[in-house]
Amino acid sequence: MKKKVAVIGAGIAGLSAGAYLQKLGFETEIFEAHSKAGGLCAWWDRKGFTIDGCIHWSPGFKSTGDMYSLWRDVIPFDDSDIHFFNELYQVVDPDGEAFRAFIDINKLEEEMLRIAPEDRKQIRRFVKLVRKFERIVIPYLKPFKLMTFKEKLAFISNLLTRGRLILKLSRMTCADYGEKFLNPLLKRFFNASYLPLLPFITIVVNSNWMVKEGVGYPLGGSRKLVDLMVEEFEKTGGKINYSSTVEKIIIEGKQAKGLKTKNGETHYFDYIVSANDSHETLKKLIGKEHVNNKIRKWLINTKADTLSGFFISIGFKGNDFNGNGHRVFFKTEEPIMISKTQELTELEVTSYDFDPSAAPEGHSLLTIFFYTDEGRYWIDLREQDKTAYNKEKQRILDEVINRFEKQFGEIRDKIVFTDIATPATFKRYTRNWKGGIHGWYITPKIFKKVIPKTVSGLKNFYMTGHWTESYGGLTNCLKGGRHIAQLIDHDFQK
């Protein structure tokens, strides 16, 4: 008889785990609290526009890359389904001068030298650093535990040749490294988006594999991506139970045996996989009595925190933003207070003109996104005073549009709709702790720690998803689902 596996959560990691488990011969059921799949890979419709609340870009769409199999194993696609980018984003100053963050390291070097000849020596050092990691191969397709001795030896040897350099670069942040440059646009390049607190080693390694892997956007966005994954999973016999919130994992004799849902149903399985929020999984679904000290430290360690964000969408008539780049970072003349302690001085705007499914003909969709570490503040505000919460949302929306117009020109008379999602929105729809988007925020202090995927002393239970990876993102969730399926198969065979 086929062994039965329950997966909690139909996000990308849960769907990936389910797809690979089905391929390995297991009988898989996914339990999803929401009425649709996707989790943080979310989308929603507004007045004929489709808002992609997840994907800006993703690697792994080129057949030359190591990640390609992660996609093709669970989603059928070809090059015509992908819009490829040659730059990640642009950083612009108030006068319109733009630095283009090219994916190709040669083009990036040329652009850096063009924009900042005064930083020539430091630019050369940066490019030289990146090229030192050209031959580093990250093993995506199987967990380290399941590698052969030869594969482990090759990977470790590869790392050891650059061991001291890796340690040095992992101790400094991208923001630290940015201070080595004189040019303000280059400083901002190393401080854009989620980079400031990340270990500098991440941008060095990523600058190499992005060329090889191919960086693009799946046309149709998160909706198309999730629909294809669900279709492939169900085609192999997998089952998804929607609106099925798991309230407890059944544990008997230090072994996970099944789960109980909010509607009172009890289901028994041979293996349980949680692709759910780690705080809810460990504190509520399993219970503190089964959590060891190592995992408890992750939950109470204030240095292991998460980031949430604000996601503002604007649909308007015309294509006025065309030609500004698909993703642009710009400074605000005046800061925007987004909580009592946090102010915002830079905004990230993304145009979806390259995807015809995003907006009706003759219209454009823009999204403006920014991170916050004050997710708890917004969740509490909504719960305690919804009127004040809505007023604050509207204030931030008005201020963001005001700053946008000062940089790019007036659009208010062309706006068809506006929409704003806060950390409270992400918490409500995904159940993630503090509305966390990428799981743990990986600082140099957290970077080298191993995030647990099992609970010591608890058999037949596994965790996957962005809370168990070194950083979030679609490919990490795909990889995590694949690895968990491989580990379950290995443990079953053993």
Instruction: List the one residue out of 473, 52, 457 whose CA is nearest residue 465.
Output: 473
Cα distance between residue 385 and residue 436, in whole Å: 22
In the chain, what are the domain boundaries? 4-40+222-301+441-493, 104-210, 308-433
Q: How far apart are CA 432 and CA 307, in angstroms?
A: 11
Q: Identify the pLDDT of residue 301.
A: 62
Task: State how beta strands 215-218 and 256-261 pair.
Answer: unpaired
What is the rounded distance in angstroms from the CA atom of residue 412 to the CA atom of residue 316? 8
- Write down the residue that tokens 């099992």 correspond to: 454
Name the pTM for this structure: 0.94
- Report how far residue 365's alpha carbon sits from residue 73's, in angstroms, rounded to the nearest whole number: 31
pLDDT digits (tens), the chain, 494 positions? 689 999 999 999 999 999 999 999 999 999 999 999 999 999 999 999 999 999 988 988 888 888 888 888 888 887 788 999 999 999 998 888 899 999 999 999 999 999 999 999 999 999 999 998 887 777 788 998 899 999 888 888 877 777 788 888 888 999 999 999 999 999 999 988 667 778 898 888 888 878 888 899 999 999 999 999 999 999 999 999 999 999 999 999 889 999 999 999 999 999 999 999 988 998 899 987 888 777 777 666 656 788 899 999 999 998 877 667 889 999 998 999 998 888 999 999 999 999 999 999 999 999 999 999 899 999 999 999 999 999 999 999 999 999 999 998 889 999 999 999 999 999 999 999 999 998 888 877 777 677 788 888 899 999 999 988 877 789 999 999 999 999 999 999 87
The number of beta carbons lying within 10 Å of the beta carbon of residue 443 is: 15
Residue 279 CA to residue 136 CA, distance in Å, equals 34
Beta strands in 75-153 (DSSP E): 82-84, 87-92, 98-102
Interatomic CA distance for residues 143 and 483, integer angstroms: 6
CATH code of the region 4-40+222-301+441-493: 3.50.50.60
Categorise residue 433: left if φ over 0, alpha if ψ from -120 to 50, beta otherwise.
beta
Task: Give the pLDDT score at 381.
Answer: 96
| CA–CA distance, 233 with 74 (Å, rounded to integer) | 8
Q: What angle do CA 339, 344, 350 make, to 5 degrees?
A: 120
φ, ψ for residue 115 (rounded to 5)? -80, -25
Using the structure block, give the residue that is written with the tokens 């609106």. 243
- List Cβ neighbours of 486 (8 Å cut-off, separation of 6 or more): 20, 24, 142, 143, 146
Residue 217, number of CB atoms within 10 A of its CB: 23
Contact assessment for residue 176 and residue 28, using Cβ atoms and an 8 Å cutoff: no
